[in-house]
Amino acid sequence: MQKLVKGLHVFKDGYFAKHQMLFEQLATAGQNPETLFVTCCDSRVVPNLITQAAPGELFIVRNIGNIIPGPDLPGGTSAAIEYAVEVLNIENIIVCGHTQCGAMDAVLAPEKVAHLPSVRRWISRADRVRDVINERYGHLTGDARLTAAVEENVLVQLENLRDFPFIADRLESGKIHLSGWVYHINRGEIYDFDPDTSEYVLLADASMDPETALASSPNAARPRG
Burial annotation 151-173 (CB, 10 A radius, 16+ → b, else e)? bbbbbbbbebbeebeebeebbee
The dihedral sign for the CA sequence 214, 188, 61, 163: positive
* Domains of the chain, residue spans: 1-30, 36-223
The tens digit of pLDDT for each residue in 141-174 reads 999 999 999 999 999 999 999 999 999 999 999 9
What does the alpha-carbon distance between residue 99 and residue 146 come to, in Å, rounded to a whole number?
8
Angle at 68 between CA 62 and CA 74, to 5 degrees: 95
Name the percent of the chain lying above pLDDT 90.
84
Identify which of 191, 215, 212 has the alpha carbon closest to the alpha carbon of residue 201. Answer: 191
The tens digit of pLDDT for each residue in 184-216 reads 999 999 999 999 999 999 986 544 454 444 443
CATH topology of domain 36-223: Beta-carbonic Anhydrase; Chain A (3.40.1050)
Give residue 72's pLDDT: 80
Give residue 105's pLDDT: 98
Name the percent of the chain lying above pLDDT 70.
90
Name every residue whose Cβ is closer than 8 Å to that of residue 95 and which is 6 or more positions away in sequence.
38, 39, 66, 68, 154, 157, 158, 161, 178, 179, 180, 181
Residue 169 host element (H or E)? helix 165-173
Give the CA distances from residue 115 to residues 63, 107, 126, in Å, rounded to whole numbers and listed in that order.
Answer: 19, 14, 18
- State if pTM tops 0.85: yes
3-state DSSP: the chain helix, strand, coil percent, rounded to 5? Answer: 50, 20, 30
Number of other residues whose CB lies within 10 A of the CB of residue 216: 12
Is the per-residue pLDDT at 225 higher than 80? no
